[in-house]
């Protein structure tokens, strides 16, 4: 059977061409690179910050001292359509835009054209976001047609309070009388409340930084969970913090990272718990939801930081990557071709482009000539990202996933062919599983429950009798050089 796969791969290579990663525009010519970051899709264009070195007619600026500096660049995906939105700070001065997000009919961002503040654009003009000068929108979350954000100021002490913005005016949210000052680190809208990692006044020295929720109807904050208090490794004499990040909504639950582990919440104290199915995975981060499944970075203690997925409907955890060293998956984008794309490190530590279909991870293109992939977004089915090919610095590139062939896949293609040829049936099963398509005479198998515990092992030639209770299990089959996992339901 392996000869058949090798022949099939050879035929595919002979008949297929290479997909083209295309330079959209060499914005900062030479090896310096414009450094496009914070790529954000708005109204059929991509907006980002970059060091723009072209004149008003789109021609190269030979003297780099005459460039426009770090400003907002707008791109429709073509060279001619990649232009400076506006020179917010004259000539080579940097307005240093950041914090791009879409609210209503505008793209918002913070910048310093002379005075730091929030600006907005409809794609052609740029204006102040409000008649109140000098405020930046940090950590925006949209709820009930309003934009909530944390506002930092030092008028009477450093604060990070919850503000709201309606597209014209901004103000601090109403608070019940006697409510202490809050200091917010991150927040998200969920269940008609604002959930935040924060502390209240002197609570920093009593409870610490923890999970709170702001009730829009009662104008008050409430402590949802003192996660740091449950940290058994903390010194009882020292206030422990929840160390919360990566707020992400999946279904009817709020997911987040706390103390390095994955937690979930239904909005109540009792319903805010560490996810038991993922309890063995620490150092979690880079959360992303795709096809109702949570994808994230995690470490099982032996393989380094790898890509994992968690399906809450089945309670199943899957380790998708097993790259030597820390894979460090981040910057996800789903263009709609059945794959989730992201950036990650290979065994040599080079940042490359990867993709997964939820079962298999594939490395694309290797380390030459393209590397240092970053800030991946999808627009109209095409991927856009920061990268370099070695001849120019970090610039804006694009890739149409429809052009990817077997030539472009460094790892995963033969394993993918094998996995597709293997048949596991019936599923659901009454207790007997048939396996068709094995390469070897005998294959090893291991059956895990949804908590990751081994419940049955053995050798199979074509059939396995499962001696387990009704439920969902993960069947791992090791067949020669191939290892595959399969979700199995026992009736």
The two beta strands, 98-103 and 117-121, are unpaired
Instruction: Name the residue among 253, 268, 265 with its Cα closest to residue 215.
Output: 268
Q: What is the mean pLDDT of each run of 10 residues along the chain (491 residues)?
A: 35 42 87 92 97 62 62 95 90 87 96 90 91 77 94 68 90 79 91 94 81 92 88 63 95 96 97 93 97 97 94 92 92 97 91 92 80 95 94 92 81 61 88 90 88 88 93 87 82 91
Q: What is the largest CA-CA distance in the chain?
A: 76
Task: Give the pLDDT of residue 79.
Answer: 92
Q: Is the pTM of this model over 0.75?
A: yes
CA distance 400 to 406: 15
What single string gives the DSSP state of each residue in 245-289? Answer: EEEEEETTEEEEEETTEEEEESSSSTTEEE-GGGTT-EEEEEEEE
8 A C-beta contact, residue 271 and residue 282: no
The span from the CA of 160 to the CA of 200, in Å, is: 11
């Amino acid at each position: 059977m392996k000869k058949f796969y090798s022949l099939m791969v050879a035929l595919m290579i002979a008949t297929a061409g290479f997909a083209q990663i295309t330079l959209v525009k060499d914005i900062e010519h030479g090896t310096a690179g414009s450094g496009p970051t914070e790529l954000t899709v708005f109204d059929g264009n991509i907006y980002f910050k970059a060091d723009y070195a072209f004149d008003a007619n789109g021609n190269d600026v030979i003297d780099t001292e005459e460039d426009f500096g770090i400003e907002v660049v707008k791109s429709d995906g073509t060279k001619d359509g990649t232009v400076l939105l506006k020179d917010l700070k004259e000539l080579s001065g940097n307005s240093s835009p950041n914090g791009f997000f879409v609210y209503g009919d505008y793209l918002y961002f913070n910048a310093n054209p002379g005075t730091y503040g929030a600006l907005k654009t409809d794609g052609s003009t740029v204006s102040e976001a409000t008649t109140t000068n000098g405020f930046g929108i940090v950590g925006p979350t949209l709820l009930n047609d309003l934009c909530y954000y944390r506002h930092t100021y030092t008028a009477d002490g450093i604060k990070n309070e919850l503000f709201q913005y309606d597209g014209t005016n901004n103000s601090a949210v109403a608070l019940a009388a006697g409510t202490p000052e809050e200091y917010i680190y991150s927040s998200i809208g969920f269940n008609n409340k604002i959930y935040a990692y924060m502390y209240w006044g002197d609570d920093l020295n009593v409870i610490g930084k923890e999970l709170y929720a702001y009730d829009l109807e009662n104008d008050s904050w409430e402590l949802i969970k003192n996660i740091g208090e449950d940290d058994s490794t903390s010194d009882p004499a020292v206030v422990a913090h929840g160390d919360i990040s990566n707020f992400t909504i999946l279904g009817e639950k709020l997911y987040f990272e706390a103390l390095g582990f994955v937690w979930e919440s239904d909005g109540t104290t009792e319903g805010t718990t560490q996810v038991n199915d993922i309890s063995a995975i620490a150092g979690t981060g880079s959360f992303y939801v795709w096809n109702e499944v949570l994808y994230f970075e995690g470490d099982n203690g032996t393989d380094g930081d790898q890509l994992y997925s968690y399906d809450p409907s089945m309670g199943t955890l899957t380790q998708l990557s097993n790259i030597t060293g820390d894979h460090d998956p981040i910057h996800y984008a789903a263009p709609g071709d059945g794959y989730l794309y992201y950036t990650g490190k290979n065994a040599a530590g080079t940042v490359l482009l990867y993709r997964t279909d939820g079962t298999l991870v594939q490395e694309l293109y290797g380390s030459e000539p393209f590397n240092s992939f970053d800030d991946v977004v999808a627009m109209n089915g095409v991927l856009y990202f920061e990268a370099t090919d070695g001849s120019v610095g970090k610039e804006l590139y694009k890739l149409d996933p429809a052009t990817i062939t077997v030539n472009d896949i460094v790892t995963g293609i033969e394993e993918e062919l094998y996995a597709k040829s293997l048949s596991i049936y019936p599923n659901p099963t009454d207790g007997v599983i048939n396996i068709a398509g094995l390469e070897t005479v005998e294959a090893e198998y291991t059956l895990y429950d949804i908590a990751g515990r081994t419940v049955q092992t053995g050798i199979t030639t074509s059939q396995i009798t499962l001696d387990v209770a009704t439920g969902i299990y993960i069947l791992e089959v090791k067949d020669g050089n191939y290892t595959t996992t399969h979700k199995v339901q026992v009736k």
